[in-house]
Structure 1
Amino acid sequence: MLRKLTFPVLLTLFALGMDSSAQAELKMSPVFGDSMVLQRDQPVRVWGWTTAGHEVTVAIAGHEATATADEEGRFEVLLDALPAGGPHEMTIAADESRTFTDVLVGEVWVCSGQSNMQWSLGQSNDADLEALTAKYPNLRLITVPTIAAQTPKNDFNGSWKACTPKTVKDFSGVGYLFGRQLHETLDVPVGLIDNAWGGSAAEAWVPQDVLAADGKYEDLLKRWQRTIENYNYEEEVAKWNERVAKWEADGKQGPKPRKPNDQLQGNHRPGNLYNGVLHPIIGYTIRGTIWYQGESNAGRAYQYRDLFPLMIETWRKDWRQGDFSFYWVQLADFMNERTEPSDSAWAELREAQTMTMSKLPNTGEAVIINLGEASDIHPKNKQDVAKRLARWALAKDYGYTDLAYHSPTYASHEVQGDKIVVTFDHVGGGLDTFDVNELRGFTIAGDDKAFVNANAKILGKDKVQVRAESVTNPVSVRYGWADNPITNVQSKEGLPVTPFRTDDWEGVTANNR
């Protein structure tokens, strides 16, 4: 006989049903998944979302940790440090359970910046040969798609993949070649996370509130506020459609008009990339970051002196992993060579990059002033770029202290009559020249600030004497101070001298904010 259910019983069952349907699905950032690489020898942070108040247990390789999801459903655990190895399974048990397979433990690096970091292996030198040999099952790759956001995103469309001739072609060339060098040298698994975005400006990688609180970026933020208030993307698209229609009516002469990008959803707006492509991975335990960016900020190079360190400090603070290693590529030589000294925004940006090493710990700069291409902002020699970054990591993070890694840098200078003698640090086996014995790239000026090309010669191991007949009372020396300077001084190990100047005279970007 069927029993008639009373109203209280129905209400109880309805409530139970509501409770069941309210249970949240277990969600994780895609940076956690099958075939991922976890950082060795450091506590491993794992986070996700489930029902608020629910207990969550994460287990891997005999280690487990438990946490309770907060009122928003977010949980976070720190697993004990693991040695390199695998494959393992990681299980997350909450309202439901999920298991990630083929998990390796090794070295994890973020590959970030703008187009020269995003530039794929398939677009780099010897791409066909490089792809043929890219058979590294324990080298794992994941790419974060270029999605802009003004509020922090927690997920993205991506997954870890083993390195194969097929998967590597679209991955960052510098990133892969850097990771390959570490993988072959250390003989441990390596994981690479690529979130670079071509053309991006440094301010897009910093939250707006951080920029506002700093106080140095008022003009920048005001300009963006005016853009937000006045910019209409639909109107820009309508104008573009009109141009395309005219182009078609005129017989499609010349290239088709380029569709405009939405500035508000682009890679220059402050905070857009921090929220869209960085926030989903912030906190994932890493060894460090390699960075290649600066081209988009060259016109505001003096501002970059503060902005770049602020960006690094913000990442480190939000990552909650201390001062993890951060190595960048100094801008390459680019644009037309000039035979006479001139002002240069790119030189000032390089100077700002170099300054960052003295401001922050665990930082380093790969100097590539001899690897650029005058007519291409994307030099295709990514192999040597990656090697110079790898030297920093191997020497500073992995104990290969005998490796040359630091380009020679300006240390001091002394005026000696009509000459200036410059002393360098980090000269390795001593200063040397490439291609020809004559030193190229030095200019000299008196107090009139009029620079002329100078004659120079190496003195001993770490000094260069600079003079010019037309400058009898020299005040300043510059080296490699141009967009595309002609330079040839290096250490005997082949690392080029870092461009520098001995003066602090106001540059062409000093007032650009």
Structure 2
Amino acid sequence: MKKLFFTLFLLFSSFSLQAEIKVHQLFSKGAVLQRNQAVPVWGWAKPGSKISVSFAGQKESSQTNSTGKWMVTLKSMPASSDSRSMTISDGETTLSIDDILVGEVWLCSGQSNMDFGLGGVCRKPRNPKYQAITDFMNEEIKDINDTLFRQMTVRRELSPLNEKENIVGTWYPANQRFVKGFTAVGFNFGRELRKELNIPVGLIKCAWGGTRVEAWIPTAQYQSDNELKEYYDAEIAKLNQTLSTWDKEKVAAENKAKIEAHKIAAEKANVEGKKRPHYPRLQKNPDENNTLPSTLYNAMIAPLVPYAMKGAIWYQGEANAGFATDQYQKRFTKMIQGWRQAWDLPLDFYWCQLAQFKKPLLEPAEASTWVQIQYQQSQCMSLPNSGMAVLNDIGDAADIHPINKIDAGKRLAFWALNKSYKKEDVIHSGPTYKSHEVKANKVIITFDNTGSGLMTASKELHKAVQENSSPLKSFQICAADGAWQWAEAKIISSNQVEVSHAEISQPVEVRYAWASNPEGANLYNKEGLPTGLFKTEL
């Protein structure tokens, strides 16, 4: 009888779990829905159930499919700061989700410089010269209580072989309790939108430090290109081969033994007053590897589709400066295209170019892998609805995680305000290379995005750029024999620079800021935005 009762209990429990109506975690308390777009809402229930969703005077219905998934689509709504509830019912059970707003939703993704929390900016910096940034940021948030500015943080997950359906995460507001958990770049981006648009803003933080672009590319994109398919197939074949011989129980037992041995050794060290031993390195399952192709897309991005949003901001590339560097433009492009195809939307997509890092050059040199990534990032701006924030004046030679996330976020916001929200009075970009002409021993370079005109200027920490009368620096010029020299350069009009060298009579190419750390690069537009690295076309 006990066995029969236990069996019936399991069957009933299984049925109850299957029948329970659920909604995707994005639709949880405090959610921000995208304005002026159709808004899909989805979840799971017993197959064949009729589901109704009510919100803001709308009521939409749907029926679960054979796997129990349901989806309804709410009609486009204007922004609203009113805290409202959404109800979801299958006729027997009703869920109520409170405190939902309608505004602008942006995905914040990439690696550690996007994952970098606001709390990291607010802590005492390792280098005292950046203390002013920490002090400024702490002052900015000391009384913050913006209930209309919110973030959902997606928990880190891996899934190299299958797309997951849901996430773990919670919406929380920009207040004293939670604000330091905001992505620092995203916070400064979102705060500019809040100031300019005066409507709710929701950020979805979905980032993982040290990750390559390959892990964020949808599997379908790998299948769309022979070269990428070959790379993907080889990586997955290696994974499957390793999994086929992996003894999970044996590894678990070995890991447990290491932990027990460490515990004993640590206790002994405490008794003897010695230094505790390092925690042992445990074996992980082969699929617990964040470098595998598509693993982060499958686990962290795919489950977000098709949540309505305006676009994405991205800060990544450091991990690719040492891996398949020459493939970055192609793979980053495929990633953006893949995300847009998944959402079936022309998502606006803005990214940070890598900031300056490492020692400055004493003499002109060929592109480092860092420069190669920076250059390929700039070439991706040919994609529609895209843009890049140049950070070559706010980095840190000694730290791959520069603390100035203030200007990084603001510069991304300028792109969004100008391009996504059509605020033409907001200058979104620094000068960008347009064309050049060789005249005798001089190269005349013409720029786009010069705003009110070109200028030389300096940038100190997070403070406003200051115009000065210094000569232009960081220009390199190449002679016909292939020898590069530091060039003389001067502004000759509101959108042109003249570049030359006294000993080069036949210049063939010019480069600007062509270094991991282009110290002294000082060409800006009068709105205070810097010129990124470029080279003239041969």
TM-score norm. by structure 1 comes to 0.88
Identity of aligned residues (%): 39
Counterparts of 2:494 and 2:261, CA distance in 1: 62
Counterparts of 1:243 and 1:17, CA distance in 2: 43
Structure 1 residue 201 corresponds to structure 2 residue 209? no
Moved more, 259-268 or 203-212: 259-268
Counterparts of 2:283 and 2:355, CA distance in 1: 27
Which of 350, 374, 383 is the matching residue for 2:397?
374
- The structure-2 alpha-carbon separation of the partners of 1:459 and 1:298, relative to structure 1 and needing over 3 Å to count, comes to same
User: Residue in 2 aligned with 1:347?
Assistant: 371
Moved more, 381-390 or 220-229: 220-229
Give the SS at the match of 1:296.
Answer: helix
Counterparts of 1:64 and 1:82, CA distance in 2: 13
The RMSD of aligned alpha carbons is 3.0
Q: Is the 8 A contact 2:220 2:338 kept in 1?
A: no
Counterparts of 2:432 and 2:176, CA distance in 1: 39
Give the SS at the match of 1:356.
Answer: helix
Which of 115, 119, 126 is the matching residue for 1:118?
115
Structure 1 residue 133 corresponds to structure 2 residue 156? no
- The structure-2 alpha-carbon separation of the partners of 1:160 and 1:67, relative to structure 1 and needing over 3 Å to count, comes to same
User: Residue in 2 aligned with 1:290?
Assistant: 313
Give the SS at the match of 2:72.
Answer: strand
Counterparts of 2:528 and 2:283, CA distance in 1: 42
User: Residue in 2 aligned with 1:166?
Assistant: 177
User: Residue in 2 aligned with 1:495?
Assistant: 529
- The structure-2 alpha-carbon separation of the partners of 1:416 and 1:157, relative to structure 1 and needing over 3 Å to count, comes to same
Which of 39, 45, 56 is the matching residue for 1:61?
56
User: Residue in 2 aligned with 1:11?
Assistant: none
Moved more, 254-263 or 73-82: 254-263
Question: Structure 2: which amino acid aligns with 1:140?
Answer: R
User: Residue in 1 aligned with 2:156?
Assistant: 146
Structure 1 residue 266 corresponds to structure 2 residue 255? no
User: Residue in 1 aligned with 2:496?
Assistant: 463
User: Residue in 2 aligned with 1:177?
Assistant: 188
After TM superposition, the structure 1 = structure 2 runs for residues 36-435 of structure 1, keeping only pairs within 5 Å, are: 36-85=31-80, 86-94=82-90, 96-124=93-121, 125-126=133-134, 127-150=137-160, 151-217=162-228, 218-219=230-231, 221-223=233-235, 225-226=237-238, 229-230=241-242, 234=251, 256=278, 259=281, 262=284, 264-299=287-322, 300-320=324-344, 322-343=345-366, 344-358=368-382, 360-435=383-458
Note the residue ranges of structure 1 that are not aligned, 5 or more in a row.
1-15, 505-513
Question: Structure 2: which amino acid aligns with 1:181?
Answer: E
Question: Structure 1: which amino acid aligns with 2:313?
Answer: I
Question: Structure 1: which amino acid aligns with 2:208?
Answer: W
1:470 Cα deviation after fit: 3.2
Q: Is the 8 A contact 1:131 1:166 kept in 2?
A: no
Q: Is the 8 A contact 2:159 2:287 kept in 1?
A: no
Moved more, 208-217 or 456-465: 208-217
TM-score norm. by structure 2 comes to 0.84
- The structure-2 alpha-carbon separation of the partners of 1:264 and 1:129, relative to structure 1 and needing over 3 Å to count, comes to farther
1:253 Cα deviation after fit: 8.2
After TM superposition, the structure 1 = structure 2 runs for residues 467-482 of structure 1, keeping only pairs within 5 Å, are: 467-482=500-515
1:52 Cα deviation after fit: 1.5
Moved more, 463-472 or 247-256: 247-256
Q: Is the 8 A contact 2:448 2:495 kept in 1?
A: yes
- The structure-2 alpha-carbon separation of the partners of 1:90 and 1:258, relative to structure 1 and needing over 3 Å to count, comes to same
1:227 Cα deviation after fit: 5.7
Cα deviations by residue, 1:194-226 (Å, 9 ceiling, x for unpaired): 011111111101133431332222246525643
Number of residue pairs matched? 487
1:456 Cα deviation after fit: 0.6
1:42 Cα deviation after fit: 1.2
Counterparts of 2:453 and 2:207, CA distance in 1: 36
Note the residue ranges of structure 2 that are not aligned, 5 or more in a row.
1-10, 122-132, 459-467
Counterparts of 2:222 and 2:369, CA distance in 1: 23
1:351 Cα deviation after fit: 1.4
Cα deviations by residue, 1:428-475 (Å, 9 ceiling, x for unpaired): 111111135111111011243332211111111111111122322111
- The structure-2 alpha-carbon separation of the partners of 1:201 and 1:252, relative to structure 1 and needing over 3 Å to count, comes to farther
Cα deviations by residue, 1:226-260 (Å, 9 ceiling, x for unpaired): 36535979599799989989x99999889947847
1:422 Cα deviation after fit: 0.9
- The structure-2 alpha-carbon separation of the partners of 1:391 and 1:238, relative to structure 1 and needing over 3 Å to count, comes to same
Q: Is the 8 A contact 1:433 1:488 kept in 2?
A: yes
Give the SS at the match of 1:64.
Answer: strand
- The structure-2 alpha-carbon separation of the partners of 1:243 and 1:307, relative to structure 1 and needing over 3 Å to count, comes to farther
- The structure-2 alpha-carbon separation of the partners of 1:252 and 1:318, relative to structure 1 and needing over 3 Å to count, comes to farther
- The structure-2 alpha-carbon separation of the partners of 1:356 and 1:492, relative to structure 1 and needing over 3 Å to count, comes to same
Q: Is the 8 A contact 1:243 1:257 kept in 2?
A: no
Counterparts of 1:223 and 1:152, CA distance in 2: 17
Counterparts of 2:150 and 2:537, CA distance in 1: 46
Counterparts of 2:503 and 2:257, CA distance in 1: 56
Counterparts of 2:115 and 2:78, CA distance in 1: 31
Counterparts of 2:532 and 2:150, CA distance in 1: 33
Question: Structure 2: which amino acid aligns with 1:111?
Answer: C
1:129 Cα deviation after fit: 2.5
